[in-house]
Structure formats: C-alpha cells, structure tokens
Amino acid sequence: MFFNYGTEAPFMHFGIVDKADNLTQYIDVPLPGPRLPHDMAFTENYAILGDAPLFWMPEALAAGKHVPHYYPDMPMRIAVVPRHGETKDIVWFEAESTYVLHWVNAYEVGSEIVVEGFFQTNPEPPKGNGTFYEQMFRYLDNNLTGPRLHRWRLDLNSGNCKEERLTETTSEFGMINQAHAGLEHRYSYAATAVPGWFLFNGIVKHDSLTGEETRFNLPDGVYASETAVAPKTGSTSEDDAYLVTITSDVRNDLSECLVFDAKNLADGPIARVKLPERVSSGTHATWARGSQIPNWLNDDGLDAALGRIPSHSA
Ligand SMILES: [Fe+2]
C-alpha cells in the first residue's frame, strides 16, 4: 500500500502493489489543495490517510516559494479508504487541529476505526532567529512541536471522531510488533528526543492497556534510531520480543546495534554488536527474519538479497 501527493489536483492518490510488483489499485484521493502528508496507516480492510492543516502557503506557492505554515483554525482530517474501493467510498473525519508526522498503527473494533499516532501539540514552532534552514529545522525539534501518543476513534456508523491523548510524554518514531500491524496492539515503542536537535536519546515503551511507561535512556552523546520489534522464535505474547535499534556514538565515532528484551526495556541492552562504521542516527528502521530475505548471507544489495535481480556474488 502506498500514497503519493503533489501540487496538482487531485493532490493525493492511494495505491496497492501486489507481490508480483503489479499495480492493482490506484485511486484519486481529492484534497482541497496541496498538502504535506508524511505517513499512512492501515487496518484489515482500510487504508488511513491524513490531511493536516500544515502545508505550503498557497500565495507563496503560487510565486514558486515553498513556505510551510500551520493553519490552527482548520481541522485535522483523516480519511478511511476501503483498500479495494473507489474514490467515492472514501470517508473523511474531522478531528482537533494538529499535524501528525507518524502514525503508529490502526485497527478495527466494531464500527470504529481506531488510529494511534503522534499528535503535535505545537505544529508550528516559533520562527526565532537564524537562517531559513535553522528556522525549518525547528519543525524537527520534538521538544518544540511536542508530539504525544494519541488515539483517534473514527465511527463509520455515526461519522463521529473521538480522541484521547494517551500520555504527556513527548516521543515520536513509534513502532509496534508488526505481527499486530492493522490489528489491535497493546505496546508501542517510541523515541525520546534531545531538546533542540533531531537526535533520539532514549526509548519509551507505552502500555495502551494500563497507561504504564518504561524507559531506557542512552548515555550522553549516544543517539538511537527507530526501534524495530523482532518477535522471539516461538513468541507467545506481543512483547515476547527483542527491541533492535542502531546507535550513533558521536564521542567515540562508532555505531552499535543494541538488542533489548521488550519485556525488560529498563534493564538495558542484553546484546550489543559493534558496526564497522558509524551510521547516522534518526533513521527509520525495520526488521525481518533471515528466512524472509533468502540471500541475506551473500548479498549486501537489497534487490539481490531479495532475489529480485540475479546475485552478483560467487
Ligand atoms: Fe518518517
């Protein structure tokens, strides 16, 4: 599943590519104008897309300038798109104004679509001083934009949207056990950020059932990326899993892959693997079993490892 967006009507599309790389679905998702969506979610039967009121100023855009601006009087809009439906089947919901950079998951409960993601409490940080790029960078400072884990309940029968903030903790880059993707989940794992920077200094585990949170904080100068969840072999529960992240230690110029027990995040890593080179922090991440990547031992390139092009290795 994917979406695209641009500056020409209808401004967004939704599509599906099947396992054989065939485009099997591609429909218009008409928006009121050019928007800046970043992420989507899905349930068993629906795709979830967003139309947030933070977008390029139309008057500046008409002059060829791309100036993002937040319109707090406009609602956050969320689209429920039947995965195999048509444009006319799209249902839009209006919610409290915000910008959502990343969704965490979505699932169906009766007539409701439940969506979790990060509600920015201040989508447009103060411009302050500094260069244009310094001003733009403030949009990536989580301690200015204040993203909080949030739940939207979209009722397809009534058309109503109910929402609740799940925590006062500022975090982003939320990940779940992907065996629950599109299905109800209990635990999410997100990154906490260093004020003023796009750097992640810890991991917070949120329990949606109890509201309980547990944390692990990295040492000063060590920053994480998104944390992937790897279910243990023979996993018997949602958090019977390992958490995997890659760190960037800027003081010692090295990177490590850290592995945590998802049930005992606060205890710290149970394994660490030094990487041959330091890699950037703040990247998205995922995890897959070796059995899902048939040539992973022989090929560094993704396409060859997945068997999409002939292997170059001996
Ligand atoms: Fe992203």
Say which residues have a Cβ less than 8 Å from residue 92's Cβ, sequence separation at least 6: 51, 77, 78, 79, 80
Q: Which residues pair with 100 in a beta bridge?
A: 119
pLDDT, residue 311, reads 64
pTM over 0.85: yes
Q: Tell me the CA–centroid distance for residue 105 and ligand 1, in Å.
A: 14
Gyration radius of the chain's alpha carbons? 20
pLDDT, residue 312, reads 57
Q: How far apart are CA 224 and CA 103, in angstroms?
A: 19
Q: Tell me the CA–centroid distance for residue 226 and ligand 1, in Å.
A: 10
pLDDT, residue 314, reads 43
Q: At CA 128, angle to CA 127 and CA 130, rounded to 5?
A: 100
- Among the listed residues 183, 149, 145, the one whose alpha carbon sits nearest the alpha carbon of residue 44: 183
Q: How far apart are CA 227 and CA 304, in angstroms?
A: 25
C-beta neighbour count of 131 within 10 angstroms = 8
Strand pairing class (76-82; 91-95): antiparallel
Q: Of all helices (H) and strands (E), which one includes residue 102?
A: strand 100-109
What are the boundaries of each domain within the chain?
A: 1-170
Q: Tell me the CA–centroid distance for residue 157 and ligand 1, in Å.
A: 31
Q: Tell me the CA–centroid distance for residue 281 and ligand 1, in Å.
A: 13
Q: Tell me the CA–centroid distance for residue 238 and ligand 1, in Å.
A: 24
Query: Which ranges of the chain have pLDDT less than 70?
Result: 311-314
